[in-house]
Structure 1
Amino acid sequence: MPNPILKLVEPEKSSDDKPATTTTTTPHMLPCRIHHDGPVEPVQSFWDPRVEEDGTKTAYFRGRKLIGKTVKLPEGYRGVVAAAAGTEIKDRRPEDDGNGVDDLEGEGQPELGKLQLQAEFDEMVIWGHEATVDVSADPYVRGMEEWLDLANQIHSYTTTPSTEK
């Protein structure tokens, strides 16, 4: 099996040596682009979604009405929010190809990308302008469903009947 190129790492321990706990969150997929990637406080002053009787959510963002629908992840999957945590150099040794010849292709020490776990989720809210998003056509939901379908096909094993006579 090839070496991984990306590693998900747990949050580091706090200063009092207690294990770090992962928070649970609900990501919101907004139909807009925000050119800011830092903290925003207090969020409640401009983001206060309300739950309607039919289970949808309604919010106003910069004067635009948004209607959100909660989408749960399939059973057995977990969503994570992660942030880049740098890279580390892996110790790479030449691989033996079985003929006593070392594979020296790609010499050097490849970098292993690291992502630090920030939070976990089991549902997300998909927002649409003025109307409930059509989850069958939404690119985020379709992308998630197609990725899960592909992952299931890659990791499933089919048994073929023996052709012995």
Structure 2
Amino acid sequence: MLAIQSSTKSSQKCTPNLLPARLNHNGPVNDTERYWKPERTENEKNHAYFRGRHLHGTSLALPANYTGAVLQITDKDVPTTNSNRMETEDNEEEDDEESQKVEVKLIEQVGEFDEFMIWGHGGSIDASEDTYARAIKEWIGFSEAMHIEPQDKKRGRKD
């Protein structure tokens, strides 16, 4: 399991980029501007070259009441707790030895964002057709359906 811990230092404002590429590298890049230097043209179009390929970017904003978070898994552990003990039919608790230990790692927030950039080949991306854009919109809709109370419950009705 993972637990998010609020960072004592302020998180950095950033803009995540979704690239149409598969990279077999996981780590820092010494000279970032050599490999990634997005530009905005006079007519407000985003474009960049990545490994010789011309990419066009479309910025998608998160809804006003959402904040994106960039998280980093740490080596720190939350103190170990026992999972809920199961009771037998006679309502007797099982031995502590049989209860399972749950290991929880801490995650720290290192950045936050309110928009992200989707890059693609060819012209600008149509948000209604792009897989990533549709997935984000569907996830936001699902999240709102789970966390917003129906109007009937807000009015105090009981069915």
1:154 corresponds to which residue? 146
Consecutive unaligned residues in structure 2, runs of 5 or more: none
Residues in 2 aligned to 1:103 and 1:151: alpha-carbon distance in whole angstroms: 37
CA 1:24–1:103: 2 relative to 1, 3 Å: farther
Q: Does 1:39 align with 2:28?
A: yes
Runs of 5+ in structure 1 lacking a partner? 12-18
Give TM-score, length-normalised by structure 1: 0.78
Q: Structure 1 runs of 4+ off > 4 angstroms? A: 93-97, 160-163
On the 8 A contact 2:60/2:118 being kept in 1, the answer is yes
Paired residue total: 151
* CA deviation after TM superposition for structure 1 residue 103, in Å: 6.2
Choose which of 57, 75, 90 in structure 2 pairs with 1:68: 57
Match of 2:17 among 15, 28, 38: 28
Q: Which residue of 2 aligns with 1:121?
A: 113
Give the corresponding residue for 1:133: 125
Q: Percent identity?
A: 29
CA RMSD of aligned residues (A): 2.6
Q: Which amino acid aligns with 1:91?
A: T
Structure 1 residues 42, 148: closer, same or farther in 2, change over 3 A? same
CA distance in 1, matches of 2:112, 2:92: 42
- Asked if the contact 2:85/2:99 (under 8 Å) is kept, the reply is no
Structure 2 counterpart SS, 1:54:
coil
Provide the C-alpha distance between the structure 2 equivalents of 1:25 and 1:100, rounded to a whole number of angstroms: 56
